[in-house]
Structure 1
Amino acid sequence: MGIVLCIGMLAVGAILTLAVDWNTDAVNIDVVGLVLMAVGLIGLCVYVSIFKRRRTQPPGPAAPVVVEEDHHHLG
């Protein structure tokens, strides 16, 4: 889920829970709104944690390894 979808789910859930005054026998609109807000919040937290982990920079390159060659002089 993208960040726009998560924020959209939060907004739609808040509208259904707080602003809509529909009464139906089959579906409780308040519960649907709360579920949408919960899913949107969980999705937003997961997205932010993945995005935060993706933005961390890897450690810089290590110091170059110097290899000394041993030359044995015969003679």
Structure 2
Amino acid sequence: MGYGLGVFLLAVGLILVYAVQDAISAVDLRMVGWILVLAGVLVIALTALTMSRSRTARTVATTTHPDGSQTTTEQASRQDPPPAV
């Protein structure tokens, strides 16, 4: 899954909505087109969300003090992808 699938669904949906004039009995092609458009937008949004979340690295450290208590610290850092060759 990725941007390609989202763009494909978006394109096919818009073609069905605006360019196809044929009719199939018991199937509303415009509604199918709008459903594909919404699915394409959803796939693009979810891909963008997952790609942005995967670039964040989290470090968790637990320190045990002499009295037996523990302190946990969490640190998030953004990692940029390696440059394209």
TM over 0.5: yes
Equivalents in 1 of 2:7, 2:24: separation in Å? Answer: 26
The 3-state SS of whatever aligns with 1:40 is helix
Structure 1 position 24, deviation (Å): 1.8
Hey, what does 1:25 align to over in structure 2? Answer: 25
% identical equivalent positions: 34
One-letter amino acid matched to 2:30: D
One-letter amino acid matched to 1:26: A
Please identify runs of 4+ aligned residues in structure 1 that moved more than 6 A: none
Structure 1 position 55, deviation (Å): 2.3
Between Structure 1 and Structure 2, the one with more strand by share is 2
Equivalents in 2 of 1:2, 1:17: separation in Å? Answer: 23
Hey, what does 1:42 align to over in structure 2? Answer: 42
Calculate the TM-score normalised by the size of structure 1: 0.70
Higher Rg of the two aligned structures = 1
Task: Report which structure shows greater RCO (CA 8 Å, sep ≥6).
Answer: 1
Hey, what does 1:52 align to over in structure 2? Answer: 52
How well do the aligned residues superpose, as a CA RMSD in angstroms?
A: 1.8
Calculate the TM-score normalised by the size of structure 2: 0.63
User: Can you give the 5+ residue segments of structure 1 that lack an aligned partner in the other structure?
Assistant: 60-75
Between Structure 1 and Structure 2, the one with more helix by share is 1
